[in-house]
Structure 1
Amino acid sequence: MSLQNLTSEFVGCRVVVSGGTKGAGQATVKRFIAGGATVVTAARGPVDASAGAHVIATDLSTPDGAARLADAALKRMGGVDVLVHVVGGSSSPGGGFAALTEDHWRAELDLNLMSAVRLDRALLPQMIERRGGAVIHVSSIQRTLPLPESTIAYAAAKAALTTYSKAVSKELGPKGVRVNVVSPGWIYTEASQALVSRIAATTGGDLEAAKDSILQALGGIPIGRPAQPEEVAELIAFLASSRASAIHGAEYVIDGGTVPTV
């Protein structure tokens, strides 16, 4: 596809991106807008418009927050053609399974699983009615490579999201709606940069040594670096586009080869 076609492939397309003001979500918003789409996204607090998108201040980890984004998107755009669930993350403490309370588990599941379930429930019916649309759920390689020290609940929630996505794809494929999963490894976002800086400050080493320590914790990345947010956004845009019209119910891993098994 030519560069000219890439800048017009989403003209007339109405897109919702959850968590579109930072990291891979923000890169995804920019990619859709660069392709001509109209985009609505969300943030937990008031922020400036993200790359030309309309931003709704709402907490997607709550039922009311998900409903607020869905209602605003439908009112503003009249419908949604592409739904991308990027929002996610972990705030649970380290210390293994015993350190996780009921509240920690509930928070991880609400943010990483139920935010997608609730938005799907609100926005998929209008796709089904039109017999057209694309949904991309952003999971994580931690669903297969959980880190027991610190991300048990996050990894479990992402595993549930991936399984949920497969089940939904079986239901929606015959109804004209495509559902796929993107599972990133380490993405070098602002949060990752801050983590690298904290490690360097704590250990007294430089930034490169801090990056290497993260690579070692992951068991290495064969290409030698984390993915950039724009690389993840490009994969998401491809799966949402007509170029991927026969791709459905699939999971695409973008981790530089981190997962060591088939």
Structure 2
Amino acid sequence: MSNSQKTNTRLDGKIALVTGGTKGIGKAIADRLADAGATIIVTARSQPADANQSYHFIAADLAKVGESDKLANEINEKFGKVDILINNIGGTSSPAGGFGTLTHEHWNNDLQLNLMAPVNLDRALLPKMLEAGEGVIIHISSINSQLPLWEANMPYGAAKAALDNYSKGLSNELASKGVRVLTVSPGPVKTGAMQAFLGDFANALGKTIDEATQVMMDKIGGIPMGKMAAPEDIAELVGFLVSPAAAYITGVNYIVDGGTIPVV
């Protein structure tokens, strides 16, 4: 690695797509990459009123079959390719309560959103990266892939575990072809989505949000740093990983959890 690579975290001239990029972790990542000089494309089901107008927004529901190809076609027509793909979209609409509360539809929805949406978007955008001989793909996973919370979000954790495995396999396939693939697994992050999850979890448990939060913290063993991450904490790592400074890094799952995972 050259000295310029070691110090260069700029992204001037790069085109980055951030899925779910209008709020929470996705918005923080989009802002971080824009600050580094990248041209930003964001996608979500709908554009919020306070969206950054300097970003190119494309509406897409990536959990639906065909939406990834539609999105990729529009991007290729307008930009030619993307250099950086941040597969940030994810979440769960499944009820808390464990196995007996979960239907086929719950499982299918979570697998489509958290696993197949990034798989399908990778398939749609990778050909242009491979043609160029360079690119970076980041999959945003979760520590739930290693710390299952059966009471709260069993299908979500299972889907993220599958995403981790897929991401590692894809990195091995593409490493010699100039495309780097990495995974970032946050612990609890202070976002609107987290607050909504805790509200639903509290209702399922018949507890207050503070009580439900404590139940979750007890299940994961607490956060040694004593607080949830901010979205910007995740974005800073992503900004480094997609930059020339990280040119020799691929196939790694980075845990960003304030020390929660109890193993080395």
- TM-score relative to the length of structure 1: 0.90
What is the Cα deviation at residue 61 of structure 1? Answer: 0.4
For the residue of structure 1 that corresponds to 2:27, the secondary structure is helix
Q: 1:62 to 1:179 in 2, by over 3 A?
A: same
Q: Which amino acid aligns with 2:147?
A: L
What is the Cα deviation at residue 149 of structure 1? Answer: 1.0
For the residue of structure 1 that corresponds to 2:185, the secondary structure is strand
Distance in 2 separating the partners of 1:72 and 1:197? 37
Cα shift readout 1:55-81 (whole Å, capped 9, x = no counterpart): 111101012222222222222211110
- Calculate percent identity across the aligned residue pairs: 45
Bigger relative contact order, structure 1 or 2 (CA pairs below 8 A, ≥6 apart): 2
The aligned runs of 1:1-262 (5 Å cut-off) are 9-48=10-49, 50-51=51-52, 52-194=54-196, 212-262=214-264
Contact 1:16–1:40 (CA under 8 A) maintained in structure 2: yes
For the residue of structure 2 that corresponds to 1:181, the secondary structure is strand
Q: Which amino acid aligns with 2:174?
A: L
Contact 1:16–1:73 (CA under 8 A) maintained in structure 2: no
Distance in 1 separating the partners of 2:212 and 2:114? 27
Q: Which amino acid aligns with 1:128?
A: L
Q: Which amino acid aligns with 1:216?
A: D
Counting matched residue pairs gives: 255
Contact 1:49–1:55 (CA under 8 A) maintained in structure 2: no
Q: Which amino acid aligns with 2:44?
A: A
Distance in 1 separating the partners of 2:98 and 2:199? 24
Deviating more after overlay: 28-37 vs 214-223: 214-223
What is the Cα deviation at residue 30 of structure 1? Answer: 0.7
Contact 2:149–2:219 (CA under 8 A) maintained in structure 1: no
- TM-score relative to the length of structure 2: 0.89
Q: 1:196 to 1:115 in 2, by over 3 A?
A: closer
Q: Which amino acid aligns with 2:37?
A: G
Q: What are the ranges of 5 or more consecutive residues in structure 2 without an aligned counterpart?
A: none
